[in-house]
Structure 1
Amino acid sequence: MAEIIDYGRFADRLAARRARWDLLREFQDEWGYTVPAGAVPWPKWSETEHRTYVRTLHEEWTGEEEDPFKGVDRSLPIPKALDEWWDLPFNSFTHSSRLYWTNPEYPPTLRPDPSGYGVAEGLPEENPFVEPGGDLRLCCFMAEYEYCNEWAYLASEAGQDDPRVFVSIDEDGWALQAESLSEFFVLLAAVRLPSHFGWSVQLGDDDFPDGVRARIEAAYRPMGLQNWRELGADTAFFGGPDVIVRHDTGMADYSVDICGRTREALAATARTLGWTWDDDLVDPPAKDAESD
Protein backbone atom coordinates (compact mmCIF):
# COMPACT_ATOMS: atom_id res chain seq x y z
CA MET A 1 0.00 0.00 0.00
CA ALA A 2 2.76 2.44 -0.91
CA GLU A 3 0.37 4.63 -2.94
CA ILE A 4 -1.81 6.96 -0.88
CA ILE A 5 -5.46 7.05 -1.99
CA ASP A 6 -7.29 10.29 -1.22
CA TYR A 7 -10.90 9.41 -0.50
CA GLY A 8 -11.60 13.11 -0.34
CA ARG A 9 -11.67 12.84 -4.15
CA PHE A 10 -13.99 9.84 -4.17
CA ALA A 11 -17.03 11.86 -5.23
CA ASP A 12 -15.24 12.73 -8.47
CA ARG A 13 -14.57 9.06 -9.14
CA LEU A 14 -18.18 8.19 -8.34
CA ALA A 15 -19.44 10.77 -10.83
CA ALA A 16 -17.91 8.79 -13.71
CA ARG A 17 -20.91 6.47 -13.97
CA ARG A 18 -19.71 4.76 -17.14
CA ALA A 19 -16.78 3.35 -15.18
CA ARG A 20 -18.78 2.30 -12.08
CA TRP A 21 -17.71 -1.36 -12.16
CA ASP A 22 -14.11 -0.24 -12.58
CA LEU A 23 -14.56 1.86 -9.44
CA LEU A 24 -15.89 -1.12 -7.51
CA ARG A 25 -12.93 -3.24 -8.59
CA GLU A 26 -10.47 -0.47 -7.74
CA PHE A 27 -12.05 0.12 -4.34
CA GLN A 28 -11.85 -3.56 -3.45
CA ASP A 29 -8.23 -3.70 -4.58
CA GLU A 30 -7.37 -0.58 -2.57
CA TRP A 31 -8.60 -2.20 0.64
CA GLY A 32 -6.87 -5.49 -0.05
CA TYR A 33 -9.72 -7.70 -1.18
CA THR A 34 -8.92 -10.56 -3.53
CA VAL A 35 -11.20 -13.39 -4.55
CA PRO A 36 -10.20 -16.37 -2.36
CA ALA A 37 -8.55 -19.24 -4.20
CA GLY A 38 -11.12 -21.85 -5.15
CA ALA A 39 -14.09 -19.65 -4.20
CA VAL A 40 -17.35 -20.71 -5.83
CA PRO A 41 -19.57 -17.70 -6.55
CA TRP A 42 -23.09 -17.52 -5.15
CA PRO A 43 -25.39 -18.84 -7.91
CA LYS A 44 -27.57 -16.07 -9.28
CA TRP A 45 -30.69 -18.21 -9.58
CA SER A 46 -30.87 -19.58 -6.06
CA GLU A 47 -32.85 -19.02 -2.88
CA THR A 48 -31.24 -18.22 0.42
CA GLU A 49 -31.26 -21.06 2.95
CA HIS A 50 -33.83 -19.29 5.10
CA ARG A 51 -36.18 -18.68 2.17
CA THR A 52 -35.96 -22.34 1.17
CA TYR A 53 -36.67 -23.32 4.78
CA VAL A 54 -39.78 -21.12 4.97
CA ARG A 55 -41.09 -22.40 1.63
CA THR A 56 -40.50 -26.01 2.70
CA LEU A 57 -42.40 -25.42 5.95
CA HIS A 58 -45.30 -23.97 3.99
CA GLU A 59 -45.41 -27.01 1.74
CA GLU A 60 -45.37 -29.33 4.77
CA TRP A 61 -48.24 -27.42 6.39
CA THR A 62 -50.43 -27.19 3.29
CA GLY A 63 -49.39 -30.31 1.41
CA GLU A 64 -49.05 -28.20 -1.73
CA GLU A 65 -45.89 -27.35 -3.63
CA GLU A 66 -45.31 -23.59 -3.48
CA ASP A 67 -44.04 -21.67 -6.48
CA PRO A 68 -40.54 -20.39 -5.54
CA PHE A 69 -41.18 -17.38 -7.80
CA LYS A 70 -44.58 -16.50 -6.33
CA GLY A 71 -43.25 -13.12 -5.18
CA VAL A 72 -41.92 -12.22 -8.63
CA ASP A 73 -43.71 -10.25 -11.34
CA ARG A 74 -42.35 -12.10 -14.36
CA SER A 75 -43.59 -9.40 -16.72
CA LEU A 76 -41.08 -6.90 -15.30
CA PRO A 77 -37.60 -6.79 -16.87
CA ILE A 78 -34.53 -7.13 -14.69
CA PRO A 79 -32.25 -4.07 -14.90
CA LYS A 80 -29.06 -4.56 -16.88
CA ALA A 81 -26.87 -3.32 -14.02
CA LEU A 82 -28.13 -6.01 -11.63
CA ASP A 83 -27.20 -8.83 -14.01
CA GLU A 84 -23.85 -7.19 -14.73
CA TRP A 85 -23.06 -7.01 -11.01
CA TRP A 86 -23.92 -10.67 -10.46
CA ASP A 87 -21.57 -11.71 -13.26
CA LEU A 88 -18.53 -9.63 -12.24
CA PRO A 89 -15.57 -12.02 -11.86
CA PHE A 90 -14.19 -9.90 -8.97
CA ASN A 91 -17.52 -9.51 -7.12
CA SER A 92 -16.67 -9.58 -3.41
CA PHE A 93 -20.27 -10.33 -2.44
CA THR A 94 -20.80 -13.36 -4.64
CA HIS A 95 -17.38 -14.78 -3.78
CA SER A 96 -17.18 -13.75 -0.08
CA SER A 97 -20.75 -13.24 1.10
CA ARG A 98 -19.76 -13.62 4.78
CA LEU A 99 -18.35 -10.10 4.60
CA TYR A 100 -21.76 -8.62 3.94
CA TRP A 101 -24.48 -10.03 6.25
CA THR A 102 -27.15 -9.54 3.60
CA ASN A 103 -29.31 -11.86 1.54
CA PRO A 104 -29.82 -11.41 -2.21
CA GLU A 105 -33.18 -11.77 -3.93
CA TYR A 106 -32.87 -13.00 -7.52
CA PRO A 107 -35.04 -12.62 -9.39
CA PRO A 108 -36.12 -9.57 -7.39
CA THR A 109 -39.36 -10.02 -5.44
CA LEU A 110 -42.17 -7.52 -5.11
CA ARG A 111 -42.94 -5.32 -2.14
CA PRO A 112 -45.57 -5.83 -0.93
CA ASP A 113 -44.66 -9.48 -1.44
CA PRO A 114 -47.50 -11.68 -2.78
CA SER A 115 -45.76 -14.71 -1.27
CA GLY A 116 -45.83 -13.19 2.23
CA TYR A 117 -42.10 -13.66 2.76
CA GLY A 118 -40.89 -10.09 2.29
CA VAL A 119 -41.35 -7.72 5.22
CA ALA A 120 -41.79 -4.23 3.76
CA GLU A 121 -44.87 -2.74 2.16
CA GLY A 122 -44.92 -0.75 -1.06
CA LEU A 123 -44.60 3.01 -1.17
CA PRO A 124 -47.28 4.97 0.71
CA GLU A 125 -49.84 6.80 -1.43
CA GLU A 126 -48.22 10.12 -0.60
CA ASN A 127 -44.54 9.93 -1.47
CA PRO A 128 -41.99 12.03 -3.38
CA PHE A 129 -40.84 9.24 -5.70
CA VAL A 130 -43.75 8.47 -8.05
CA GLU A 131 -46.55 10.54 -9.54
CA PRO A 132 -50.03 10.35 -7.96
CA GLY A 133 -51.74 7.20 -9.18
CA GLY A 134 -48.41 5.62 -10.16
CA ASP A 135 -47.15 2.11 -9.41
CA LEU A 136 -46.33 1.91 -5.69
CA ARG A 137 -44.61 -1.48 -5.88
CA LEU A 138 -40.89 -2.03 -5.44
CA CYS A 139 -38.62 -4.88 -6.53
CA CYS A 140 -36.42 -6.13 -3.67
CA PHE A 141 -32.99 -7.42 -4.72
CA MET A 142 -31.14 -7.37 -1.37
CA ALA A 143 -32.08 -7.54 2.30
CA GLU A 144 -30.40 -7.20 5.66
CA TYR A 145 -29.54 -10.61 7.09
CA GLU A 146 -32.80 -10.87 9.08
CA TYR A 147 -34.82 -8.71 6.68
CA CYS A 148 -34.91 -5.76 9.07
CA ASN A 149 -34.15 -3.59 6.03
CA GLU A 150 -34.73 -4.32 2.37
CA TRP A 151 -33.21 -2.62 -0.70
CA ALA A 152 -35.27 -2.30 -3.85
CA TYR A 153 -35.86 -0.34 -7.02
CA LEU A 154 -39.23 0.97 -8.21
CA ALA A 155 -41.28 -1.47 -10.28
CA SER A 156 -41.95 1.46 -12.60
CA GLU A 157 -38.18 1.83 -13.17
CA ALA A 158 -37.50 -1.89 -13.75
CA GLY A 159 -37.06 -1.21 -17.45
CA GLN A 160 -34.16 1.16 -16.84
CA ASP A 161 -30.58 -0.11 -17.15
CA ASP A 162 -29.50 1.27 -13.78
CA PRO A 163 -32.47 2.46 -11.67
CA ARG A 164 -32.49 4.20 -8.31
CA VAL A 165 -32.30 2.17 -5.10
CA PHE A 166 -34.52 2.64 -2.04
CA VAL A 167 -34.25 1.23 1.48
CA SER A 168 -37.10 0.27 3.79
CA ILE A 169 -37.09 2.18 7.07
CA ASP A 170 -39.65 1.97 9.84
CA GLU A 171 -40.61 5.58 10.33
CA ASP A 172 -41.05 6.73 6.73
CA GLY A 173 -41.58 3.53 4.74
CA TRP A 174 -38.85 3.97 2.11
CA ALA A 175 -35.93 6.36 1.63
CA LEU A 176 -33.56 6.92 -1.28
CA GLN A 177 -30.39 4.86 -0.71
CA ALA A 178 -28.50 5.32 -3.98
CA GLU A 179 -28.93 7.12 -7.28
CA SER A 180 -28.45 3.83 -9.15
CA LEU A 181 -27.95 0.11 -8.63
CA SER A 182 -24.28 0.37 -9.59
CA GLU A 183 -23.78 3.16 -7.06
CA PHE A 184 -25.51 1.05 -4.40
CA PHE A 185 -23.05 -1.80 -4.85
CA VAL A 186 -20.13 0.60 -4.51
CA LEU A 187 -21.78 2.01 -1.37
CA LEU A 188 -22.37 -1.47 0.05
CA ALA A 189 -18.70 -2.32 -0.43
CA ALA A 190 -17.72 0.98 1.23
CA VAL A 191 -19.87 0.05 4.24
CA ARG A 192 -18.57 -3.50 4.66
CA LEU A 193 -14.99 -3.83 3.39
CA PRO A 194 -12.90 -1.06 5.06
CA SER A 195 -13.68 -2.12 8.63
CA HIS A 196 -12.73 -5.71 7.75
CA PHE A 197 -9.54 -5.12 5.78
CA GLY A 198 -8.39 -1.80 7.23
CA TRP A 199 -7.24 -0.42 10.56
CA SER A 200 -10.37 0.77 12.33
CA VAL A 201 -11.78 2.27 15.50
CA GLN A 202 -15.37 2.85 16.57
CA LEU A 203 -16.11 5.71 18.92
CA GLY A 204 -18.94 7.76 20.34
CA ASP A 205 -19.57 11.49 20.18
CA ASP A 206 -18.64 11.68 23.85
CA ASP A 207 -15.07 10.66 22.93
CA PHE A 208 -14.78 14.15 21.45
CA PRO A 209 -15.67 16.67 24.20
CA ASP A 210 -15.61 19.62 21.79
CA GLY A 211 -17.84 17.92 19.22
CA VAL A 212 -16.74 15.87 16.24
CA ARG A 213 -18.97 16.64 13.22
CA ALA A 214 -17.56 20.15 12.72
CA ARG A 215 -14.03 18.76 12.93
CA ILE A 216 -14.84 16.05 10.39
CA GLU A 217 -16.36 18.51 7.96
CA ALA A 218 -13.42 20.90 8.35
CA ALA A 219 -10.79 18.25 7.63
CA TYR A 220 -12.45 15.75 5.27
CA ARG A 221 -14.64 15.91 2.19
CA PRO A 222 -18.00 14.17 1.56
CA MET A 223 -17.57 11.05 -0.56
CA GLY A 224 -20.65 11.70 -2.68
CA LEU A 225 -22.57 8.72 -1.30
CA GLN A 226 -26.07 8.77 0.15
CA ASN A 227 -26.26 8.28 3.91
CA TRP A 228 -26.33 4.59 4.79
CA ARG A 229 -29.66 3.51 6.31
CA GLU A 230 -29.60 0.16 8.08
CA LEU A 231 -30.84 -0.95 11.52
CA GLY A 232 -31.72 2.63 12.43
CA ALA A 233 -28.44 4.13 11.25
CA ASP A 234 -28.18 7.37 9.27
CA THR A 235 -24.50 7.48 8.41
CA ALA A 236 -22.61 10.06 6.34
CA PHE A 237 -19.29 9.28 4.60
CA PHE A 238 -16.23 11.54 4.52
CA GLY A 239 -12.83 10.83 2.99
CA GLY A 240 -9.21 11.84 3.26
CA PRO A 241 -5.76 10.41 2.54
CA ASP A 242 -6.06 6.63 2.99
CA VAL A 243 -9.00 7.05 5.34
CA ILE A 244 -12.80 6.90 5.43
CA VAL A 245 -14.61 8.58 8.31
CA ARG A 246 -18.25 7.74 8.95
CA HIS A 247 -20.46 9.79 11.25
CA ASP A 248 -23.89 8.57 12.30
CA THR A 249 -26.73 10.74 13.53
CA GLY A 250 -29.15 7.83 13.79
CA MET A 251 -29.13 4.75 15.98
CA ALA A 252 -25.86 3.02 15.02
CA ASP A 253 -23.94 1.31 17.83
CA TYR A 254 -21.14 3.88 17.40
CA SER A 255 -21.53 7.37 16.01
CA VAL A 256 -17.94 7.63 14.70
CA ASP A 257 -16.29 4.91 12.63
CA ILE A 258 -12.80 5.57 11.25
CA CYS A 259 -11.14 3.16 8.82
CA GLY A 260 -7.60 3.61 7.54
CA ARG A 261 -5.83 1.64 4.85
CA THR A 262 -2.78 1.84 7.11
CA ARG A 263 -2.20 2.27 10.82
CA GLU A 264 -0.46 5.55 10.06
CA ALA A 265 -3.54 6.89 8.26
CA LEU A 266 -5.75 5.96 11.20
CA ALA A 267 -3.34 7.58 13.66
CA ALA A 268 -3.18 10.77 11.58
CA THR A 269 -6.97 10.99 11.54
CA ALA A 270 -7.13 10.42 15.29
CA ARG A 271 -4.77 13.36 15.79
CA THR A 272 -6.74 15.54 13.41
CA LEU A 273 -10.04 14.83 15.17
CA GLY A 274 -8.56 15.09 18.65
CA TRP A 275 -8.97 11.50 19.80
CA THR A 276 -6.39 10.18 22.25
CA TRP A 277 -5.02 6.95 20.79
CA ASP A 278 -5.89 3.78 22.70
CA ASP A 279 -4.51 0.52 21.25
CA ASP A 280 -7.15 -1.51 23.06
CA LEU A 281 -9.88 0.08 20.95
CA VAL A 282 -8.19 -0.29 17.57
CA ASP A 283 -8.99 -3.27 15.35
CA PRO A 284 -6.21 -4.41 12.98
CA PRO A 285 -7.03 -5.76 9.52
CA ALA A 286 -8.50 -9.23 9.19
CA LYS A 287 -6.19 -11.78 7.66
CA ASP A 288 -8.39 -12.67 4.72
CA ALA A 289 -11.87 -12.53 3.25
CA GLU A 290 -13.11 -15.47 5.32
CA SER A 291 -12.07 -14.14 8.73
CA ASP A 292 -14.87 -13.11 11.10
Structure 2
Amino acid sequence: MTEIDYGRFHEWLEEARSAAAAGSTDGGGARWDLLRRFQQEWGYEPAGHTESDAPVDEEAGDDDVDSSLAIPAALDEWWALPCNSFADRGELYETNPVWPPTVRPDPTGYGVAGALPQVNPFVGPDEDLRVCVFMAENQYCNEWGYPAARSGLAEPPVLVSARDDDGQEVWLLQSHSVSEFFLHLAVTRLPAHYAWTVEEGVVSPQVVAGLREHLRPLGLLPWRELGARTEFWGGPDVIVAHNTGYGDSELVAYGRTEQALQRLAEKLGVDWSEWICAPESHDEEG
Protein backbone atom coordinates (compact mmCIF):
# COMPACT_ATOMS: atom_id res chain seq x y z
CA MET A 1 0.00 0.00 0.00
CA THR A 2 1.44 3.36 -1.05
CA GLU A 3 1.70 5.79 1.85
CA ILE A 4 -0.41 8.94 1.55
CA ASP A 5 0.49 12.04 3.53
CA TYR A 6 -2.70 13.75 4.67
CA GLY A 7 -0.58 16.59 5.90
CA ARG A 8 -0.89 17.71 2.26
CA PHE A 9 -4.70 17.58 2.26
CA HIS A 10 -5.02 21.36 2.66
CA GLU A 11 -2.76 21.77 -0.37
CA TRP A 12 -4.96 19.42 -2.44
CA LEU A 13 -8.06 21.24 -1.23
CA GLU A 14 -6.66 24.61 -2.30
CA GLU A 15 -5.79 23.18 -5.72
CA ALA A 16 -9.35 21.94 -6.12
CA ARG A 17 -10.75 25.32 -5.05
CA SER A 18 -8.50 27.14 -7.51
CA ALA A 19 -9.43 24.80 -10.37
CA ALA A 20 -13.13 25.27 -9.65
CA ALA A 21 -12.72 29.06 -9.46
CA ALA A 22 -10.92 29.00 -12.80
CA GLY A 23 -13.94 27.29 -14.35
CA SER A 24 -12.45 23.86 -14.96
CA THR A 25 -15.02 21.62 -16.67
CA ASP A 26 -13.03 18.39 -16.76
CA GLY A 27 -15.97 16.14 -16.00
CA GLY A 28 -16.58 18.01 -12.76
CA GLY A 29 -13.07 17.03 -11.71
CA ALA A 30 -12.35 20.30 -9.96
CA ARG A 31 -15.32 19.72 -7.69
CA TRP A 32 -15.33 15.98 -7.20
CA ASP A 33 -11.95 14.43 -7.91
CA LEU A 34 -10.66 14.97 -4.39
CA LEU A 35 -13.78 13.29 -2.99
CA ARG A 36 -13.35 10.32 -5.35
CA ARG A 37 -9.68 9.98 -4.43
CA PHE A 38 -10.33 10.24 -0.69
CA GLN A 39 -12.99 7.53 -0.76
CA GLN A 40 -10.75 5.22 -2.77
CA GLU A 41 -7.75 5.79 -0.50
CA TRP A 42 -9.70 4.71 2.58
CA GLY A 43 -11.12 1.58 0.96
CA TYR A 44 -14.53 2.51 -0.45
CA GLU A 45 -15.27 0.82 -3.76
CA PRO A 46 -18.15 2.19 -5.87
CA ALA A 47 -21.01 -0.22 -6.47
CA GLY A 48 -20.81 0.45 -10.20
CA HIS A 49 -24.05 2.36 -10.73
CA THR A 50 -23.97 4.96 -13.51
CA GLU A 51 -26.35 7.42 -11.87
CA SER A 52 -28.16 7.79 -8.57
CA ASP A 53 -31.53 9.48 -8.36
CA ALA A 54 -32.07 11.66 -5.33
CA PRO A 55 -34.70 10.05 -3.07
CA VAL A 56 -37.82 12.13 -2.64
CA ASP A 57 -38.36 13.07 1.00
CA GLU A 58 -41.83 11.85 1.91
CA GLU A 59 -41.99 14.49 4.65
CA ALA A 60 -41.47 17.27 2.11
CA GLY A 61 -44.59 18.78 0.59
CA ASP A 62 -45.82 21.78 -1.31
CA ASP A 63 -45.81 23.92 1.84
CA ASP A 64 -42.13 23.51 2.75
CA VAL A 65 -40.63 23.37 -0.76
CA ASP A 66 -40.33 26.61 -2.70
CA SER A 67 -40.30 25.47 -6.32
CA SER A 68 -39.44 28.99 -7.48
CA LEU A 69 -35.94 28.58 -6.02
CA ALA A 70 -33.23 27.01 -8.15
CA ILE A 71 -31.43 23.92 -6.88
CA PRO A 72 -27.64 24.45 -6.95
CA ALA A 73 -25.96 22.60 -9.80
CA ALA A 74 -23.42 20.98 -7.47
CA LEU A 75 -26.21 19.31 -5.49
CA ASP A 76 -27.60 17.69 -8.64
CA GLU A 77 -24.07 16.72 -9.72
CA TRP A 78 -23.38 15.01 -6.41
CA TRP A 79 -26.44 12.79 -6.63
CA ALA A 80 -25.39 11.74 -10.16
CA LEU A 81 -21.77 10.87 -9.27
CA PRO A 82 -20.85 7.24 -10.06
CA CYS A 83 -18.65 7.34 -6.95
CA ASN A 84 -21.38 8.65 -4.64
CA SER A 85 -20.71 6.62 -1.50
CA PHE A 86 -23.72 8.13 0.27
CA ALA A 87 -26.11 6.83 -2.40
CA ASP A 88 -24.41 3.43 -2.22
CA ARG A 89 -23.75 3.10 1.53
CA GLY A 90 -26.09 5.57 3.20
CA GLU A 91 -26.04 3.58 6.45
CA LEU A 92 -22.43 4.66 7.01
CA TYR A 93 -23.41 8.33 7.14
CA GLU A 94 -26.19 8.39 9.76
CA THR A 95 -27.79 11.42 8.18
CA ASN A 96 -31.05 12.01 6.32
CA PRO A 97 -31.10 13.56 2.83
CA VAL A 98 -33.80 16.16 2.29
CA TRP A 99 -34.89 16.19 -1.33
CA PRO A 100 -36.12 18.41 -2.71
CA PRO A 101 -34.54 20.91 -0.32
CA THR A 102 -37.03 22.37 2.15
CA VAL A 103 -37.09 25.92 3.49
CA ARG A 104 -36.49 27.16 7.02
CA PRO A 105 -38.43 28.43 8.78
CA ASP A 106 -40.63 25.50 7.83
CA PRO A 107 -44.26 26.60 7.29
CA THR A 108 -45.40 23.10 8.31
CA GLY A 109 -43.56 23.26 11.64
CA TYR A 110 -41.68 20.00 10.96
CA GLY A 111 -38.24 21.59 10.56
CA VAL A 112 -37.15 23.22 13.79
CA ALA A 113 -34.51 25.69 12.57
CA GLY A 114 -35.40 29.29 11.89
CA ALA A 115 -34.39 31.86 9.32
CA LEU A 116 -31.20 33.86 9.28
CA PRO A 117 -31.29 36.97 11.48
CA GLN A 118 -31.57 40.38 9.84
CA VAL A 119 -27.88 40.98 10.54
CA ASN A 120 -25.80 38.00 9.43
CA PRO A 121 -22.59 37.39 7.45
CA PHE A 122 -24.25 35.37 4.68
CA VAL A 123 -26.89 37.60 3.02
CA GLY A 124 -28.00 41.20 3.23
CA PRO A 125 -30.96 42.34 5.40
CA ASP A 126 -33.03 43.06 2.28
CA GLU A 127 -32.42 39.62 0.79
CA ASP A 128 -34.27 36.36 1.39
CA LEU A 129 -33.40 35.24 4.92
CA ARG A 130 -34.62 31.67 4.52
CA VAL A 131 -32.31 28.63 4.44
CA CYS A 132 -32.80 25.64 2.12
CA VAL A 133 -32.05 22.40 4.00
CA PHE A 134 -30.77 19.39 2.03
CA MET A 135 -29.26 17.17 4.76
CA ALA A 136 -30.00 16.53 8.44
CA GLU A 137 -28.57 14.60 11.36
CA ASN A 138 -30.53 11.40 12.01
CA GLN A 139 -32.74 12.96 14.70
CA TYR A 140 -32.73 16.37 12.99
CA CYS A 141 -30.69 17.82 15.86
CA ASN A 142 -28.61 19.56 13.19
CA GLU A 143 -29.58 20.55 9.67
CA TRP A 144 -27.36 21.59 6.78
CA GLY A 145 -28.46 23.94 4.06
CA TYR A 146 -27.63 26.96 1.92
CA PRO A 147 -29.06 30.49 1.94
CA ALA A 148 -32.16 30.68 -0.24
CA ALA A 149 -30.78 33.96 -1.56
CA ARG A 150 -27.80 32.04 -2.95
CA SER A 151 -29.74 29.11 -4.45
CA GLY A 152 -28.96 30.31 -7.96
CA LEU A 153 -25.24 29.68 -7.44
CA ALA A 154 -23.73 26.40 -8.57
CA GLU A 155 -21.74 26.20 -5.33
CA PRO A 156 -23.37 28.19 -2.51
CA PRO A 157 -21.88 28.08 0.99
CA VAL A 158 -23.32 25.45 3.34
CA LEU A 159 -24.60 26.42 6.77
CA VAL A 160 -25.32 24.24 9.80
CA SER A 161 -27.95 24.78 12.48
CA ALA A 162 -26.27 24.67 15.86
CA ARG A 163 -26.51 26.25 19.29
CA ASP A 164 -24.33 29.06 20.59
CA ASP A 165 -22.86 29.31 24.07
CA ASP A 166 -26.19 30.65 25.37
CA GLY A 167 -28.11 27.69 23.94
CA GLN A 168 -29.71 29.74 21.19
CA GLU A 169 -30.27 28.26 17.73
CA VAL A 170 -27.93 29.84 15.17
CA TRP A 171 -26.75 29.21 11.62
CA LEU A 172 -22.97 28.81 11.27
CA LEU A 173 -20.78 28.38 8.22
CA GLN A 174 -20.05 24.65 7.81
CA SER A 175 -18.40 24.54 4.38
CA HIS A 176 -17.42 27.06 1.73
CA SER A 177 -19.34 25.18 -0.99
CA VAL A 178 -21.69 22.25 -1.57
CA SER A 179 -18.99 19.98 -3.01
CA GLU A 180 -16.66 20.82 -0.12
CA PHE A 181 -19.45 19.91 2.31
CA PHE A 182 -19.80 16.44 0.82
CA LEU A 183 -16.04 15.96 0.95
CA HIS A 184 -16.13 17.06 4.59
CA LEU A 185 -19.03 14.69 5.31
CA ALA A 186 -17.05 11.79 3.83
CA VAL A 187 -14.03 12.72 5.99
CA THR A 188 -16.21 12.56 9.12
CA ARG A 189 -17.84 9.22 8.24
CA LEU A 190 -15.85 6.87 6.01
CA PRO A 191 -12.63 6.44 8.04
CA ALA A 192 -14.75 5.36 11.01
CA HIS A 193 -15.79 2.32 8.94
CA TYR A 194 -12.73 1.60 6.80
CA ALA A 195 -9.81 2.64 9.04
CA TRP A 196 -7.89 1.26 11.98
CA THR A 197 -9.19 3.37 14.87
CA VAL A 198 -8.35 4.46 18.39
CA GLU A 199 -10.45 6.73 20.63
CA GLU A 200 -9.40 8.80 23.63
CA GLY A 201 -12.07 10.22 25.91
CA VAL A 202 -9.75 12.94 27.24
CA VAL A 203 -6.23 13.81 26.12
CA SER A 204 -3.53 15.84 27.82
CA PRO A 205 -2.35 19.25 26.65
CA GLN A 206 0.90 17.55 25.66
CA VAL A 207 -0.93 15.30 23.20
CA VAL A 208 -2.75 18.29 21.70
CA ALA A 209 0.58 20.08 21.37
CA GLY A 210 1.96 16.96 19.69
CA LEU A 211 -0.86 16.98 17.16
CA ARG A 212 0.00 20.52 16.19
CA GLU A 213 3.69 19.71 16.00
CA HIS A 214 3.55 16.51 13.96
CA LEU A 215 0.34 16.88 11.92
CA ARG A 216 -1.18 19.59 9.77
CA PRO A 217 -4.82 20.79 9.61
CA LEU A 218 -6.84 19.50 6.68
CA GLY A 219 -8.06 23.01 5.92
CA LEU A 220 -11.72 22.22 6.55
CA LEU A 221 -13.89 24.28 8.88
CA PRO A 222 -14.75 22.73 12.28
CA TRP A 223 -17.43 20.08 11.91
CA ARG A 224 -20.51 20.95 13.96
CA GLU A 225 -22.80 18.14 15.01
CA LEU A 226 -24.54 17.16 18.29
CA GLY A 227 -22.62 19.80 20.20
CA ALA A 228 -19.23 18.72 18.88
CA ARG A 229 -16.74 21.09 17.31
CA THR A 230 -14.31 18.82 15.51
CA GLU A 231 -11.12 19.79 13.71
CA PHE A 232 -9.25 17.35 11.49
CA TRP A 233 -5.48 16.94 11.31
CA GLY A 234 -3.50 14.83 8.87
CA GLY A 235 -0.17 13.06 8.52
CA PRO A 236 1.30 9.98 6.82
CA ASP A 237 -1.62 7.55 6.42
CA VAL A 238 -3.46 9.10 9.39
CA ILE A 239 -6.27 11.54 10.07
CA VAL A 240 -7.08 12.70 13.60
CA ALA A 241 -10.40 14.20 14.69
CA HIS A 242 -9.96 16.53 17.68
CA ASN A 243 -13.21 17.62 19.33
CA THR A 244 -13.18 20.75 21.49
CA GLY A 245 -16.96 20.70 22.04
CA TYR A 246 -19.27 18.11 23.56
CA GLY A 247 -19.03 14.38 22.92
CA ASP A 248 -17.82 11.06 24.30
CA SER A 249 -14.34 11.33 22.78
CA GLU A 250 -11.98 14.26 22.59
CA LEU A 251 -9.75 12.51 20.07
CA VAL A 252 -10.32 9.83 17.44
CA ALA A 253 -7.37 8.75 15.31
CA TYR A 254 -7.83 6.92 12.02
CA GLY A 255 -5.09 5.00 10.24
CA ARG A 256 -5.02 3.41 6.81
CA THR A 257 -2.83 0.82 8.50
CA GLU A 258 -2.31 -0.26 12.09
CA GLN A 259 1.36 0.62 11.75
CA ALA A 260 0.48 4.21 10.85
CA LEU A 261 -1.36 4.61 14.17
CA GLN A 262 1.52 3.04 16.06
CA ARG A 263 3.97 5.49 14.48
CA LEU A 264 1.71 8.39 15.39
CA ALA A 265 1.41 7.15 18.98
CA GLU A 266 5.20 7.11 19.28
CA LYS A 267 5.38 10.71 18.07
CA LEU A 268 2.69 11.77 20.54
CA GLY A 269 4.33 9.88 23.40
CA VAL A 270 1.34 7.63 24.09
CA ASP A 271 0.79 3.86 24.08
CA TRP A 272 -2.14 2.73 21.92
CA SER A 273 -0.99 -0.88 21.53
CA GLU A 274 -3.99 -2.32 23.41
CA TRP A 275 -6.61 0.14 22.14
CA ILE A 276 -6.32 0.11 18.36
CA CYS A 277 -9.44 -1.42 16.78
CA ALA A 278 -9.52 -3.14 13.41
CA PRO A 279 -11.68 -1.62 10.64
CA GLU A 280 -15.38 -2.42 10.76
CA SER A 281 -15.10 -3.17 7.03
CA HIS A 282 -13.01 -6.25 7.89
CA ASP A 283 -16.13 -7.84 9.36
CA GLU A 284 -17.89 -7.44 6.03
CA GLU A 285 -14.97 -9.06 4.24
CA GLY A 286 -15.13 -11.96 6.67
Same fold? TM cut 0.5: yes
Q: Which residue is equivalent to 2:27?
A: none
Answer yes or no: is 1:277 the counterpart of 2:277: no
Question: 1:129: Cα distance to partner?
Answer: 1.9
Find the partner of 2:46 among 13, 35, 38.
35
How far apart in 2 are the matches of 1:100 and 1:69?
Answer: 27
Answer yes or no: is 1:245 the counterpart of 2:244: no
Question: 1:36: Cα distance to partner?
Answer: 4.2
SS in structure 1 of the partner of residue 185 of structure 2: helix
Find the partner of 1:179 among 153, 173, 176.
176
SS in structure 1 of the partner of residue 281 of structure 2: coil
How far apart in 2 are the matches of 1:275 and 1:131?
Answer: 49
Find the partner of 1:113 among 99, 106, 111.
106
Which string of whole-angstrom CA distances, capped at 9 and with x for unpartnered residues, describes residues 185-223 of structure 1?
0000000001110001110334x3x53222111111111
Answer yes or no: is 1:194 the counterpart of 2:204: no
Q: Is the 8 A contact 2:197 2:276 kept in 1?
A: yes
Which string of whole-angstrom CA distances, capped at 9 and with x for unpartnered residues, describes residues 110-153 of structure 1?
01111222121111223222223332100000000010000000
Q: Is the 8 A contact 1:234 1:252 kept in 2?
A: no
Q: Is the 8 A contact 2:200 2:249 kept in 1?
A: yes
1:48-127 paired onto structure 2 within 5 Å: 51=59, 68-127=61-120
Q: Which residue is equivalent to 1:286?
A: 280
Which stretch of structure 1 is more off in the superposition, 21-30 or 109-118?
A: 109-118
1:153-168 paired onto structure 2 within 5 Å: 153-168=146-161
How far apart in 1 are the matches of 2:113 and 2:64?
Answer: 13
Question: 1:289: Cα distance to partner?
Answer: 9.8
Using CA pairs under 8 Å that are at least 6 residues apart, name the structure with larger relative contact order, 1 or 2. 1
Find the partner of 1:214 among 201, 209, 213.
209
Alignment gaps of 5+ in structure 1: 52-66
Q: Is the 8 A contact 1:125 1:136 kept in 2?
A: yes
SS in structure 1 of the partner of residue 198 of structure 2: strand
Question: 1:255: Cα distance to partner?
Answer: 0.7
How far apart in 2 are the matches of 1:83 and 1:7?
Answer: 29
Q: Which residue is equivalent to 1:8?
A: 7
Q: Which residue is equivalent to 1:133?
A: 126
SS in structure 1 of the partner of residue 159 of structure 2: strand
Find the partner of 2:225 among 230, 233, 238.
230
Seen in structure 2, the aligned counterparts of structure 1 residues 12 and 289 have a Cα distance that, compared at 3 Å, is farther
Equivalent pairs: percent with the same residue?
51
Find the partner of 1:260 among 255, 263, 267.
255
Seen in structure 2, the aligned counterparts of structure 1 residues 68 and 124 have a Cα distance that, compared at 3 Å, is same
Which string of whole-angstrom CA distances, capped at 9 and with x for unpartnered residues, describes residues 8-43 of structure 1?
100111121332311111000000001347x89864
Q: CA RMSD in A?
A: 2.0
How far apart in 1 are the matches of 2:282 and 2:51?
Answer: 17
Q: Is the 8 A contact 1:99 1:290 kept in 2?
A: no
Which string of whole-angstrom CA distances, capped at 9 and with x for unpartnered residues, describes residues 85-112 of structure 1?
0000110001110000000011100011
SS in structure 2 of the partner of residue 194 of structure 1: helix
When the two structures are superposed, what TM-score results if normalisation uses the length of structure 2?
0.88
When the two structures are superposed, what TM-score results if normalisation uses the length of structure 1?
0.87
Alignment gaps of 5+ in structure 2: 21-29
